[in-house]
Amino acid sequence: MIRVCLADNYPVVHFGVKSYFKDHANINIVANVGTFSMIKDVLNDKEIDVLILDLDLDGLSSIYEVKALIKNYPKTKFIIYTNYAEQLYAPNAIKAGVSGYVHKTSKLESLGNAITRVSQGNIVMNENLKKNLAAIAKQNKSERLYRKLSNREIEVLRYLSDGKKNNEIAQILTLNEKTISTYKLRLLQKLHVTNLVDLVNKAKTLEIV
């Protein structure tokens, strides 16, 4: 039996996932958490084979926090289950050590298949995402801008798009404000824009927000 923990903000998601897998032959939802800080308690207290995690989870501010969890709990496989754009976030999530990425618009059957496959040591991405990534690789330089962005730059861009100021982002990511300014400058250069308004519009084009 694959023991699963679901980490998500919304009770309706917990109810739906738990109900779907209630009578599943191989998958058992043994824990549910609603904040990032609760995850360690569960992983320390229970044997969890697969953790399903929303990138929008309360208390989660950076993919680096997920990377640290993966390093500290190597026996647990991680699946991102989120509404965030796959083509932008999935490659960086996989790079951070996540074993699977499932968009919330997918059927729960797809989530079940992902749980089974990652528990067997496989890396799981949506087939459409694989095709999109292959197609993007053939696009011209201007159409592949997001591939230039690091995990941290994507995070900073998302918070800037949310209207947060440099000092607020620095506090969230526990970084120096000057460091955030440096990331902002890099974003302007990499995305070929000269001001914050154009930067935010570019973020919308790239489906970061």
Residue 82 pLDDT class (50, 70, 90 cuts) = very high
Which residues is 124 bridged to in the sheet? Answer: 100
Using pLDDT thresholds of 50, 70 and 90, give the confidence band for residue 192.
confident
137-151 confidence digits (pLDDT tens): 555 444 455 556 777
Distance CA 7, CA 29 (A): 11
What integer pLDDT is reported at residue 146 of this predicted model?
53
**How confident is residue 72, by pLDDT bands cut at 50, 70 and 90?**
very high
The predicted pLDDT at position 150 comes to 79
Q: What is the mean pLDDT of the chain?
A: 87
The more confidently predicted of residues 70 and 130 is: 70
**Which residues are CB-contacts of 131 (< 8 A; sequence separation ≥ 6)?**
none
Residue 24 has pLDDT above 70, yes or no: yes
Taking residues 167-191, report their average pLDDT.
90
Residue 55: pLDDT band with limits 50, 70, 90: very high
What type of residue is 135?
A
State what percent of residues in the chain have pLDDT above 70: 87
SS3 for 66-134, per residue?
HHHHHHHCCCCEEEEEECCCHHHHHHHHHHCCCCEEEECCCCHHHHHHHHHHHHCCCCEECHHHHHHHH
The DSSP-derived string for 120-189 is TT--EE-HHHHHHHHHHHTS-GGGGGGGG--HHHHHHHHHHHTT--HHHHHHHTT--HHHHHHHHHHHHH
